[in-house]
C-alpha cells in the first residue's frame, strides 16, 4: 500500500482536523470528504445527548474508519437501489455492481423482453411441486426466484420490490439460500425493514396491523378502579411482547413472499430447488491467491472470507461427499460454485440463470463451462453483462467474445461482471420432452405421467399425442421382439443341455 503524501495530508487537515483520519481509510481525498460528511450526518441524525458527546462519537467513528473498517459497517447500512440494506460484520456488503445487474434484470422482466422464455412453458402441462403455493406459472403473474448465496438478502429484496411494484407480477415467491446463519438472520431483518418501509407487500400485513392494534388496545377494558394498576400494565406489556414475537415468527415463516433459509448448496438440495423460473446468484468467486493480491484492505480485514473465497473445506466439498461427484477436481477452485449452479440449472427448469463473476478471465471460464455441457450449450442463449448492462459500450470494449467456437454477446459498459443464460424457447420444448421420456422409462415420473395423461385427454388430437402413440407402439414391438429372442435363446440353451 503506497504511503499517503504529506502534501495530501496537510491539505486534508486544513479542511478538517478529522479528514486525515478518514483519508487513511479511503486513500482518496474526494471520497474522504464525502465519507466524513456522511459520518457527521450519521452522528447528528442519531441525536446525541450533547454536542461534546457528539464530537467524541464522531472522532471514535473516524478512528474506526482510519483502520480501514468499511463505512457500511460503521454506519450499519448501505443503500441498494431504492432499498436500505442493513450491514453487519460477518455478512458481505452489497456492491453497486450487484445492484446494476439486478435492476437490469428486473427492467428486462418488467418490459416483457423475457416473456418468450416464460410464456412458452405455460402452454405445457404444469409439473407438480411439493409446495402447493408454488404451483402455477409466470403467465398469470407468478414468478419463482431462487437466490443462491443470498448474504444480506439484497438481491432478493431488490428484485422482489422492483417486480412487485411494477404490478406485472402479482405473485412472486422468492427463496434465498445461504450457508451462514448470521447472513440469514440479517436477511430476515432486512426483509422486515423492507416490509416496514412498504417496499415489499406483506401477505399478512393487514392481520399484523389488526393484531398490533389489539395488543396495544386490549378489547376488554379493565374496570375503572383497576385502571393504571401495575399488574395490568405488566400483563399488557407481556401481551405486546408475545405479539411481536409471533409477528417476527410469521415473517420468517414460509407464508411470506420471501423466505430465507440456511442451507449449504453443496449438500443435497430439496427437489423444488430446481423448479424455479429464475436462479440468480452472487457466489464467492475470488481465488485464494487473488484474495491476498487484488482485494482492498478493508475487504481483506473486515469482510467475511466465507463470502469471498470459495474454499472446498469450508463448504464440505471433498471426495467423500456425494455431491462432489458432479464437481470435477480439475479446473480452478474459484469456479466450484458455477459448476454447482450450472448443474442446478441444467437439472431444473429455470429459464434464466444470472451469475456474478470476478472479471473477464472468470467470465470466459464460466461461459466455457456452460458451453461444455451439451444440454446447456444447445438450449441456451449465453450473454455476458458488464458492470452497467443497460448502458452502451464505450470505446475499446469489445461487444462480442468467442468461446468454444461460439460467439457470445457482451452487453453494457465496464468490466465483465455477470454471465447470464436464457433458455431458448424451442429448445425448452425438446428438452422437456426428453426429460419426460427419461422419467417415464425410469418409472420415477409417475406423477408427471398422470398429469400428462390428464392433459392428453384434454387435447387428444395433438401431434404430440400421435407421436407418443407411435413411440409406444415401437416400444411394444421392441419388447415383443426381445421376448421372442429370449424364448429362442432359452430353447437353444435347453437343446444344448
Partner 1 sequence: MFGSPWICRRCINTYLKPGKRRLLRFSSTISHGSFSPALLARARSMASEHDRLSKETSETFDAKVSRRIGELKSVAAALKEWEDTRNSLSELNTLLNDPTTDSELRELAIEDLATTASELDTLSRNLATSLTPKHPFEDLPCLLEIRPGVGGGEAGLFAGDLLRMYRAYCSRKNMRASLLKFETEDGGSDASGDSPLQEAILEIDVPGAYGKLRSEAGVHRVQRVPATENKGRTHTSAVAVLVLPSLPTSGTEGQEVWEADLKDPNSDYYVNPTDVRTDVMRARGAGGQHVNTTDSAVRLTHIPTNTVVSMQDSRSQHQNRERAWQLLRSKLAQARREAREEEVARLRRGVIGVAKMGRGDKVRTYNYGQQRVTDHRSGLSVHNLDDVMEGGDELDKIIDSVKTWLGEREIEGLLAEDETTAAANVTK
- The residue length of the chain stands at 497
Instruction: Locate 458 and state its grid cell.
Output: 384434454
Cell, residue 42: 450519521
Q: Which of 205, 208, 188 is nearest to 258 (CA)?
A: 188
Give the nearer residue to partner 1 in terms of CB position, either 275 or 388. Answer: 388
Q: Which residue lies nearer to partner 1 by CB, 183 or 251?
A: 183
Interface residue with partner 1 among 12, 97, 104, 411 (CB under 8 A) is 97
Smallest CA-to-CA distance from 102 within 131, 81, 88, 79 is with 81
Say whether residue 161 binds partner 1 (CB under 8 A).
no
Which residues within the stretch 282-301 sit at the binding site for partner 1 (CB under 8 A)? 282, 284-286, 290, 294-296, 298-299
Identify which of residues 335 and 349 has a Cβ nearer to partner 1 in the complex: 335
Stretch that binds partner 1, among 30-38, 161-169, 175-183, 195-203 (CB under 8 A): 30-38
Q: Is the CB of residue 241 less than 8 Å from the CB of residue 216?
A: no
Site for partner 1 in 9-28 (CB under 8 A): 26
Do the bridges between strand 278-281 and strand 142-148 make them parallel or antiparallel, or are there none, so unpaired? parallel
With binding defined as CB under 8 A, does residue 90 bind partner 1? no
Contacts with 263 (C-beta within 8 Å, 6 or more apart), sequence order: 177, 178, 179, 269
Concatenating the DSSP letter of every residue in 34-48 gives HHHHHHHHHHHHT--
- The rounded distance, in Å, linking the Cα atoms of 320 and 333 is 17
Choose the binding region for partner 1 from 186-194, 278-286, 325-333, 372-380 (rule: CB under 8 A): 278-286
Is residue 306 within 8 A of residue 298, CB to CB? The reply is no
Q: x/- site string to partner 1, residues 35 to 74, per CB under 8 A? A: x--x-------------------------------xxx--
Cell of 229: 394498576
Of 165-194, binders to partner 1 (CB under 8 A) are none
Q: To the nearest whole angstrom, how small is the minimum distance from the Cβ of residue 296 to partner 1? A: 4
- We find the least distance from the C-beta atom of residue 396 to partner 1, in angstroms, to be 14
Closest to partner 1 by CB, 291 or 448: 291
Candidates 365, 417, 423, 431; binder of partner 1 (CB under 8 A) is 417
List alpha helices for 378-443, DSSP H. 425-442
Q: How far is Cα 391 from Cα 107, in angstroms, rounded to an integer?
A: 13
Residue 150 touches partner 1, criterion: CB under 8 A: no
CA distances from 167 to 112, 118, 160 (A): 12, 17, 11
Which residue lies nearer to partner 1 by CB, 358 or 445? Answer: 358
Size of the residue set binding partner 1 (CB under 8 A): 42
| 445 alpha-carbon distance from chain centroid | 29
Q: Which residues of the chain form contacts with partner 1 (CB under 8 A)?
A: 26, 31, 34-35, 38, 70-72, 78-79, 81-82, 84, 92-93, 95-97, 99, 282, 284-286, 290, 294-296, 298-299, 303, 307-308, 356-359, 387-388, 391, 414-415, 417
Amino acid at each position: 500500500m503506497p504511503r499517503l503524501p504529506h502534501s495530501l495530508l496537510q491539505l486534508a487537515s486544513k479542511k478538517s482536523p478529522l479528514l486525515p483520519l478518514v483519508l487513511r481509510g479511503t486513500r482518496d481525498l474526494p471520497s474522504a470528504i464525502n465519507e466524513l460528511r456522511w459520518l457527521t450526518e450519521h452522528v447528528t441524525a442519531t441525536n446525541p445527548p450533547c454536542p461534546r458527546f457528539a464530537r467524541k462519537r464522531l472522532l471514535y467513528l473516524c478512528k474506526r474508519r482510519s483502520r480501514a473498517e468499511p463505512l457500511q459497517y460503521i454506519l450499519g447500512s448501505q443503500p441498494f437501489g431504492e432499498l436500505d440494506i442493513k450491514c453487519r460484520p460477518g455478512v458481505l456488503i452489497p456492491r453497486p455492481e450487484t445492484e446494476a445487474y439486478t435492476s437490469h434484470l428486473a427492467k428486462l422482466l418488467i418490459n416483457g423482453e423475457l416473456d418468450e422464455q416464460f410464456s412458452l412453458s405455460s402452454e405445457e402441462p404444469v409439473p407438480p411441486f411439493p409446495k402447493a403455493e408454488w404451483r402455477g406459472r409466470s403467465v398469470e403473474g407468478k414468478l419463482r426466484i431462487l437466490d443462491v448465496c443470498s448474504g444480506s438478502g439484497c438481491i432478493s429484496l431488490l428484485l422482489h420490490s422492483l417486480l412487485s411494484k411494477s404490478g406485472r407480477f402479482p405473485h412472486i415467491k422468492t427463496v434465498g439460500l445461504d450457508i451462514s446463519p448470521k447472513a440469514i438472520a440479517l436477511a430476515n431483518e432486512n426483509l422486515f425493514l423492507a416490509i416496514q418501509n412498504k417496499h415489499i407487500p406483506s401477505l399478512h400485513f393487514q392481520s399484523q396491523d389488526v393484531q398490533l392494534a389489539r395488543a396495544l388496545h386490549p378489547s376488554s377494558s379493565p374496570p375503572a378502579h383497576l385502571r393504571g394498576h401495575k399488574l395490568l400494565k405488566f400483563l399488557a406489556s407481556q401481551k405486546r411482547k408475545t405479539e411481536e414475537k409471533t409477528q417476527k415468527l410469521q415473517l420468517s415463516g414460509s407464508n411470506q413472499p420471501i423466505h430465507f433459509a440456511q442451507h449449504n448448496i453443496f449438500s443435497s438440495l430439496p427437489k423444488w430447488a430446481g423448479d424455479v423460473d429464475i436462479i440468480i446468484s452472487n457466489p464467492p468467486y475470488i481465488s485464494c491467491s487473488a484474495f491476498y493480491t487484488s482485494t482492498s484492505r478493508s475487504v481483506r480485514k473486515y469482510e467475511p472470507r466465507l463470502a469471498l473465497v470459495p474454499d472446498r473445506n469450508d463448504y464440505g466439498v471433498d471426495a467423500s461427499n456425494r455431491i462432489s461427484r458432479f464437481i470435477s477436481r480439475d479446473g480452478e477452485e474459484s469456479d466450484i460454485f458455477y459448476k454447482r449452479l450450472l448443474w442446478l440449472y441444467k437439472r431444473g427448469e429455470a429459464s434464466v440463470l444470472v451469475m456474478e463473476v470476478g472479471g473477464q478471465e472468470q467470465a470466459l471460464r464460466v461461459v466455457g463451462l456452460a458451453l461444455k455441457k451439451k444440454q446447456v450449450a444447445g438450449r441456451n442463449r449465453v450473454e455476458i453483462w458488464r458492470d452497467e448492462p443497460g448502458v452502451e459500450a464505450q470505446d475499446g470494449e469489445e461487444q462480442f467474445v468467442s468461446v468454444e467456437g461460439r460467439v457470445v454477446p457482451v452487453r453494457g459498459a465496464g468490466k465483465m461482471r455477470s454471465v447470464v443464460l436464457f433458455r431458448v424457447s424451442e429448445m425448452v420444448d425438446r428438452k422437456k420432452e426428453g426429460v419426460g421420456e427419461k422419467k417415464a422409462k425410469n418409472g420415477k415420473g409417475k406423477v408427471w405421467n398422470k398429469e400428462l395423461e390428464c392433459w392428453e385427454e384434454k387435447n387428444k388430437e395433438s401431434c404430440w399425442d400421435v407421436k407418443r402413440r407411435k413411440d409406444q407402439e415401437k416400444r411394444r414391438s421392441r419388447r415383443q421382439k426381445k421376448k421372442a429372442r429370449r424364448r429362442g435363446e432359452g430353447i437353444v440353451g435347453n437343446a444344448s443341455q
